[in-house]
């Protein structure tokens, strides 16, 4: 079973997909912030462990994206890959900035996404959720 299949099936467990996605972004950000702290305190072991954890979480996010939906799906994937590369290079500040923008964009439409996923029939509008030029 692929990450995308697991992601699509999560509503059966009581979580909506957007709720799970937001939790994954929060977990990645927490790990990256821990990397920053560990690096500033010279704790290489913790930095490496949290860096690997953040990379695994980012790969899980990307693995759950169905890029068959075109640019609206591929852009977040590309940004996650960029954040992944930032973490790999120990550029934690840049990774946090990119992931915070992504998480906040998804958070901005979370209530609407939950309503839509639970079958209310409303349309999900991502337009204007984030200014990617910033």
Give residue 17's pLDDT.
86
Q: What domains appear along the chain, each with residue ranges and CATH number?
A: 16-117 (1.20.120.340)
Do the Cβ atoms of 16 and 114 come closer than 8 Å? yes
Vertex 111, ends 12 and 130: CA angle to 5°? 120
Render pLDDT for 70-121 as a digit per residue (tens, 0 to 9).
898 899 999 999 999 999 999 999 999 999 999 999 999 998 888 888 775 4
Q: Greater confidence, 72 or 5?
A: 72
Q: Greater confidence, 19 or 117?
A: 19
């Amino acid at each position: 079973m692929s990450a995308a299949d697991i992601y699509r099936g999560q509503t059966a467990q009581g979580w909506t997909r957007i709720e799970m996605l937001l939790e994954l972004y929060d977990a990645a950000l927490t790990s990256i912030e821990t990397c920053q702290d560990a690096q500033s305190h010279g704790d290489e072991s913790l930095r490496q462990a949290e860096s690997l954890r953040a990379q695994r979480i980012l790969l899980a996010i990307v693995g759950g994206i169905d890029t068959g939906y075109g640019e609206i799906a591929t852009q977040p994937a590309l940004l996650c890959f960029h954040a992944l590369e930032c973490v790999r290079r120990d550029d934690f500040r840049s990774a946090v900035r990119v992931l915070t923008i992504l998480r906040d964009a998804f958070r901005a439409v979370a209530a609407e996404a939950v309503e839509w996923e639970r079958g209310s029939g409303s349309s999900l509008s991502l337009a204007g959720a984030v200014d990617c030029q910033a």
